[in-house]
Amino acid sequence: MTCKKMVILGAGFAGLQVARRIKGTDCEITLIDQYNFHQFQPLFYQVATARLEPSAISFPLRKVFQRKKNVHVRIAKVTQVDTAKQQVITDEGIFDYDYLVIATGCTSNYFGNKNIEQYAYPMKSTTDAITIRNRILLNFEDALRATPEQLESIMNIVVVGGGPTGVEMAGAIAEMKKYVLPRDYPDMDFSSLNIYLLEGGDSTLAAMSKASQQKSQEYLEQMGVKVWTNALAADYDGKQITLKDGRIVPTRTMIWAAGVMGNVPAGIPKELIVRGNRIKVDHYSRIESIPNVFVIGDVSYMENDDFPKGHAQLANVAINQAKNLADNIKRLMKDQPMKEFKYRNPGTMATVGKRKAVVDLPFMSFQGFFAWLTWMFLHLMLILSVRNKLTIFINWAISYFTNDTTLRLILLPTRKQVELGQEHHSLQDKPLT
């Protein structure tokens, strides 16, 4: 069997790995993403808290594929997938395919709450992280001239969701409060700065061991974070959060890390979409009723004996699914049988602050300084380029020894930047002449 055209939707961990690993075939690969860069999602929170610059965790796609002449990058938004005609329809045109790989990842799940969707700050892209950074830094500029009535909502920062993203975000803000902000604003009293972490369940890091759950909450509370469990957000109007139990928290900064759902492109039959808005696939990452369409990463839902409720939406799962799929596509080219995807969970981890992290391995759990070193090492190894590994390591080293960084820049869009974006989008609706 030959593969003349392959289209990959999404340049996250899964899509990027497939495109990089398809070698020695006659495939012409088109990689489609709405951004011209790959994003290292586990470190978004460090951009949002001014620990890392955006370019440290974002990698230009055309740079990644400079030496792969069979990989064509297209920056576009997918409007529909037509599996009958074997076409992907985008705002940049129509792309035919022999094989389609859907690796569109996930997006924030607001559970139908339109007010929260409108006013909360998500963190699912580098641009989202920059927006949060601007919001946090502007809070303290505004606090210098705020009235006592305005000050409470400015000085309350609320993170919703006690998973790894929420825990890491709350811990990073707490470290800003302790080490950075008093130096930057010596004329302000930061004892009134409250950091809340709201978790709807019984504990933080619900997917990890009891020891890690307890230790993560203990670390956060030691750092001054107000951890509220069994706290479900019912509404938010941009000024105050109302919980289902009636409690109210005044804040203009609500960071949403409470849930995700698969980012399913239009055109996928509804009967294939299961809980979490994910696409059900067989053990080869293939849609059984559409054998030339594969789904990997966070948007994929695969059941087996080890994972009867599907795999966790983690970078390591996505990367391993991509490796297995790339191998299987090369097997298809040679008319060889495909291999089932088997995943061995290497463990999970989260960092809370300096020398504070939790790690769960299949055979043991540990917390503290060594867990923190383990977290740093493994995340550095996942970064794409040597240059970026070095940049991040240097930033972390400076932060470790000085408890400070020099990245607290408020970068708001100018009128020309807005016009440039509007001009680009207007060109997508009509052909260039």
- Candidate list 53, 92, 168, 288, residue with the active-site label: 168
Q: Which two tokens stand for residue 407?
A: 């990245």
| Contact (Cβ atoms closer than 8 angstroms) between residue 101 and residue 294 | yes
* CA 346 and chain centroid, separation: 20
State how far the alpha carbon of 234 is from the alpha carbons of 37, 112, 118, 275, in Å. Answer: 35, 11, 14, 22
| φ, ψ (nearest 5 deg) of residue 256 | -95, 115
Sequence-separated (6 or more) residues with CB below 8 Å from residue 42: 315, 379, 382
Known catalytic residue: 221?
A: no
Q: Considering only CA atoms, which of 288, 255, 294, 318 is closest in space to residue 106?
A: 318
Cα separation, 195 vs 181, whole angstroms: 14
Q: How many CB atoms lie within 10 A of CB 128?
A: 19
Active site amino acids: 168
